[in-house]
Structure 1
Amino acid sequence: MPADDEKGPLRRCIASGTVGPKESMIRFVIGPDGEVVPDLEERLPGRGLWVTADRDALAKAMGKSVFAKAARRAVKVPPDLALRLERLLERRCLHALGLARRAGHVLAGYEKVREALRANQVGRAGPPPALLVEAADGSLDQRGKVTALAPSLPVIDLFQSPALAAALGRDHAVHAVVARGRLAAGLARDAARLRGLKGSQGDQDAHQDSDKGLGVGNTAGRPAM
């Protein structure tokens, strides 16, 4: 079936049986030692086992031998697989944001972001904005003034200010805008998958990782990733 074709655009979730675009799913493979391994790059050898990027779907896949049945062999599911996967996606998002910044596809700072949104371009004669990035611990009043300028633009509010600052090479970062392009598309996909894995709990809790400053913000009803 098309959903089971590793070269096609669709995949079947082993937890729910639903078919959807692979962009909304996470690929796993079984390592040489029988352990379930996330393959976020989707390049590892072996048969792919796909799970919808959703907190409940992953929890179901981790229980009741779902991975073992799909792999048709005994497997080892790490008890911290969900947390491990979240951390991998967090690192990917921040790395992608840093790459976009080095490529000149990101503007940061309250006034610069507002100016880019008004002009509908990132940088002088640059491409239009694709994503807004807002620190989870930033001022809701300032966030509202930024997002009001582009109400349909997706917002990534999965990280606290220290993490954004580190990714953007700044001492402080609360607001950023990412230009349309390949890097923005990859960041959007990983952020959406991370949001799905965090689930509703992600809008209530903030990670207290003092080294990375990772956290989840409330999207306040806007398109969010």
Structure 2
Amino acid sequence: MTAPATRIRNATTTAASGSRQRRCIASGRRFDPAQLVRFVLSPDGAVLADVGGRLPGRGMWLEARREAVELALSKQSFARAAKRQVQVEPDLADRVEGLLAGRCLEGLGLARRAGQAVTGFERVRVALQTSEVAILLAAADAAADGRRKLTALARAMIGGCPEVALFSRSELSLALGRENVVHAALLPGGLADRLALDVDRLAGFRLWDGRMCNDFGTQSGAQ
């Protein structure tokens, strides 16, 4: 069984703790905006996911979990919040997952171009030994032995760091501009901070083989 990856949320959402909390329209609970996904209505009343928080219009917020979106659909929460008829696609949770994944992979590309990402097992190992690493990344199908070695080295050298295993090799390779990327690492900085928040939200939506991912890539119920 693959060792559980470190949760990022507890360590990073405090960075946004000064933000005013928002209410999830499905559950009624209040959360930091970093733990939510914002939705707006298009001019014709279609519900749009605004994962970057930039679209105009009055925001409607849901906890960043697939179950929260499904609950909102079953309770007609968007229509209630908007106080009007709305158009909601039945695959909205899948669409949110795709948007969040795209945002994460875009962030990895930015980190590569900024010189804040390293790829390959040996380069990651050297980075852990010689500099501070903010986030470890491993392909979802990476060998457990390689992940264990880098996790152990991170604990020994820097006291551990968050580990993300939500992306396939092809996704990592395309985002990082290298072939067959299995292991990578992000160095500390604003891009790593942004990725930490985005993958935390993505973890609430991503499915592998029909099962939810927990702790950034460890499948619930996996043995």
TM-score range, shorter chain: 0.7 to 0.9
Aligned counterpart in structure 2 of residue 131 of structure 1, from 135, 159, 163 = 135
1:59 CA drift (Å): 0.8
Secondary structure of the corresponding residue to residue 186 of structure 2: strand
Equivalences for residues 15-94 of structure 1 within 5 A: 15-94=26-105
Aligned residues: 196
Residue 203 of structure 1 pairs with residue 213 of structure 2 = yes
Residue 143 of structure 1 pairs with residue 147 of structure 2 = yes
CA RMSD of aligned residues (A): 2.0
Secondary structure of the corresponding residue to residue 107 of structure 1: strand
1:74 CA drift (Å): 0.8
Secondary structure of the corresponding residue to residue 111 of structure 1: helix
Which residue type is aligned with residue 156 of structure 1? V
1:219 CA drift (Å): 6.9
Q: Say whether the 8 Å CA contact 2:204–2:213 is kept in structure 1.
A: no
Which residue type is aligned with residue 120 of structure 2? G
Secondary structure of the corresponding residue to residue 163 of structure 1: helix
Secondary structure of the corresponding residue to residue 96 of structure 1: helix
Matches of 2:23 and 2:75, distance apart in 1: 18
Matches of 2:32 and 2:213, distance apart in 1: 25
Aligned counterpart in structure 2 of residue 158 of structure 1, from 154, 159, 166 = 166
1:9 CA drift (Å): 2.7
Which residue type is aligned with residue 46 of structure 1? G
Secondary structure of the corresponding residue to residue 196 of structure 1: coil
Question: In the TM superposition, what whole-angstrom CA distance separates every residue of 1:170-206 from its partner, at most 9, and x where no partner exists?
Answer: 11111111011111111111111010123792339xx
Matches of 2:38 and 2:207, distance apart in 1: 19
Residue 218 of structure 1 corresponds to: 218
Q: Say whether the 8 Å CA contact 1:131–1:177 is kept in structure 2.
A: yes
Equivalences for residues 170-185 of structure 1 within 5 A: 170-185=178-193
Q: Which has the higher contact order (CA 8 A, sep 6+)?
A: 2
- Note the residue ranges of structure 2 that are not aligned, 5 or more in a row: 1-17
Residue 102 of structure 1 corresponds to: 113
TM-score (normalizing by structure 2): 0.82
TM-score (normalizing by structure 1): 0.82
Which residue type is aligned with residue 218 of structure 2? N
